[in-house]
A = this chain, B = another copy of it.
Amino acid sequence: MATTLGKTNSGAAFGRSIPRVEAQAKVTGKAEYVHNLRLPGMLYGKVHRSTVAHGRIRGIDVSAAKALPGVYAVYTAADIIKLIPEPYYGPAFHDQPILAVDKVHHVGEPVALVLAADPHVAEAAAQLIDVDYEELPAVFDEVEAMTSKAIVHEVLKPAGTFPDLKHLKGKRDTNIALDFHLRRGDAQKAFAEADHVFEHTFRTQQVLHVPLEPFVTVADPTPNQLVIHTASQSPSFVRIEIARLLGWAENKVRVKVPYLGGGFGAKLYIKTEALTAAAALLAGRPVKISLTMEEQFYQITKHAATLRIKSGVTNEGKVTARECEVWWNGGAYADIGPRVTQKSGFTAPGPYDIDHVSIDSYALYTNLPAAGALRGFGIPQLVWAYESHTDMIAKALKMDPLAIRRKNILREGRPQATGTLMRDAGIEKVLERLAQRMDWEKAFDKGGGAIRRGRGIAIGFKASISPTTSVAIVNVSADGSCMVYCSTVDMGQGSDTAMAQFAAEALGIPVESVTVVHPDTDVTPYDMATLGSRSTYHMGHAVKLAAEDARDKLMQLAKDVGLSAETTPIPDIFRKKYGMQAGNVVGVGSYIPSYTSPDAQGQTDNATPFWMIGATGAEVEVDTETGEFKITRLVNLVDVGRPVNPAIVETQISGATMMQLGFTLFERMDFDAGQCTNASLADYKIPGIRDVPLVMENEAVDMVQQSGPFGAKGVGESGTFGVSPAIASAIDDAVGVRLTSLPLTAEAVYRGLRAQAGKPLDE
């Protein structure tokens, strides 16, 4: 290879649909996952889990488990505490114990751990553990949790990481893990003055992320470091949090992340890492804990939510006031739920230009499995509510759904509910493109007879998680090839490919010359986490800065030896300097966007570095006799700024859409007294190939994020936003049945049709 440093930002690498860098490894089955990892002397850990939703532990009898031949050790909280006196972790609250201490807070909570060389022995022994519980009153509903006498945690322990949680420290007798409030203008006055006031309440269900690779961690206590191989989206956080628990320095903990079989938010912060690490240190042996698919149902879920939205509207359909009240069912441990509450909170009024806004958003502890981040970070639930609400207003006012949106849309330069002015937010462009692709203003055949046709549109938006930090290193070798070091986790979204493109574009070298190194905290520098569609923007910036730094140093190197870097092949520059193929040029980039914390009213002039916009149009056919419906067309439009890799962007949009389709049509965790009754993929249906809409179109609209690296912004979640309300509105458009709870089932439509006809269900 005799590459010359080409032009930077020439479009040679960025914006091209190059194949994914990991494609070959994956299709040949050679890509390595933590599940494949076996270390000499490794023990397998199996968890004994709580059978009650809320209870005090009177005693744990591990004698039968210990007596089972082949069992190496059985640990309970009493053992953990010898190693870690304060064994509570969490990104927002230090509320989650490594193993249950004194109390259990949900069914499925880890109470004891069995280690054995044979995982089947460990599994059998875990079932022999007998725990005596004193059951306590439990609360499962998020709205009830506001006022319930059943208190999940006796005292709140914020982690100290987020300023808006600090006032909760030491608070008792409450299930509220965060209350977010935003006030803009005077909503109550505006309601009084409005021509119409509409108020609707919506429900979303608790669902699962269902990465096809269940969570797995191997902890290896080497002499100088504790090495943790884990299927995590946040290696830097795992390192810092495990080091904190142990009272160690960061560099005594090494976290390595190979390929991930999906993440979607299920693998963020600490999941099984603390338990695996503690067990490995107690045992003095490597330990692997790999969850079964069933166990994933107890590990982390998406928040169920109740959302009440009230709007004041003029006769012309202009929304003048909006009140939103949202209760997020956070389950037994806060995880990152308070951030979901706050980050989604301030966009609750939707992409609309409303002068008077009042938002109250609550993260609530309940006795269900903990909820955390899931693709969209609360936005799909919000959009489901506010876009259903928009259509219900339009219908009441006999307005066209497109027209009411055109009237109210938040246009470029206008203040969002926080007061932050909209910049580079393609709300209008995406909406208009959706109208165009849906032929919205042309006649639509609504069918007849038993089969009725309908259509719906919905648009949502999201802020980036801010302010968060990414650091990258770019190392150019003497032959002009290049290594990129960053802790962004490629979990299928194609970030390795994107980062290679960023580096190549910024350096001005072929993308084929770039290798991206897998996250390993001993190797790749700090990154906040791979979540919230932040990597393209944040790590993209960091990699670009690092590559630019390397380019500057390479230019200087050339200058030092009397050469021009623009015309001399890179190997020749190194050769002139070092006399042979030798040396490296190393560039460093560190990026954090600017940000202004909101004031007590939730107001800030800088709420986010960029906005993500996603819209969906749906066409459905509904069978009026059975309530069954099928999606005949789904159009998904997203503002991604400039797409880094159009082919990958397309798969991000379609993947997000399909995932949201599962939540829209089938997925729901069912509970009976806190016990999940469908904790298996036999009972919990996720979308299959037959569930793909007959026609599905995905498009990145033509936009540029001026502040983004080469004009790019995040895309991982935007495809989820509009799916649920577009389909609900299409059903309503077809048969006049408005569903306000997810999932949207044929049964619910049938019930609606029967009620509409004034007929009993069984006639």
* Chain A interface (Cβ < 8 Å from any Cβ of B): 1, 21-22, 24-25, 28, 30-31, 161-163, 222-225, 236, 240, 243-244, 249-252, 467-469, 471, 473, 475, 477-483, 513-515, 517, 520, 522-523, 525-526, 528, 577-588, 590, 592
Contacts and interface: CB of A to CB of B under 8 A. Distances in A.
B481 A513 contact: no
Nearest to A571: B250
B526 A583 contact: yes
A310 B51 CA distance: 93
A89 to B, nearest CB: 13
A129 to B, nearest CB: 32
A251 B477 contact: yes
A210 to B, nearest CB: 27
A469 B517 contact: no
A65 B498 CA distance: 49
The 5 closest A-B pairs by CB, nearest first: A25-B223, A249-B481, A250-B477, A251-B481, A526-B584
Contact of A579 (B467, B526, B577): B467
A525 B479 contact: no
B223 A28 contact: yes
Contacts of A515: 224-225, 251-252, 522
A173 B586 CA distance: 45
A473 B471 contact: no
Given A22-B224, A240-B478, A483 B526 contact: no
B478 A580 contact: no
Contact of A581 (B21, B240, B479, B586): B240
Contact of A25 (B222, B250, B469): B222
B161 A579 contact: yes
A482 B250 CA distance: 8
A481 B240 CA distance: 11
Contacts of A236: 582
B243 A479 contact: yes
A224 B243 CA distance: 32
Given A473-B586, A479-B249, A522 B517 contact: yes
A480 B526 CA distance: 13
A631 B170 CA distance: 75
Contacts of A590: 583-586
Nearest to A589: B586
Chain B CB within 10 Å, residue with most, of A223, A244, A517, A522:
A223
A225 B478 CA distance: 18
A482 B251 contact: yes
Chain B CB within 10 Å, residue with most, of A473, A475, A525, A592:
A475
A584 B471 contact: yes
A475 B743 CA distance: 48
Contacts of A517: 522-523
A268 to B, nearest CB: 15
A238 to B, nearest CB: 12
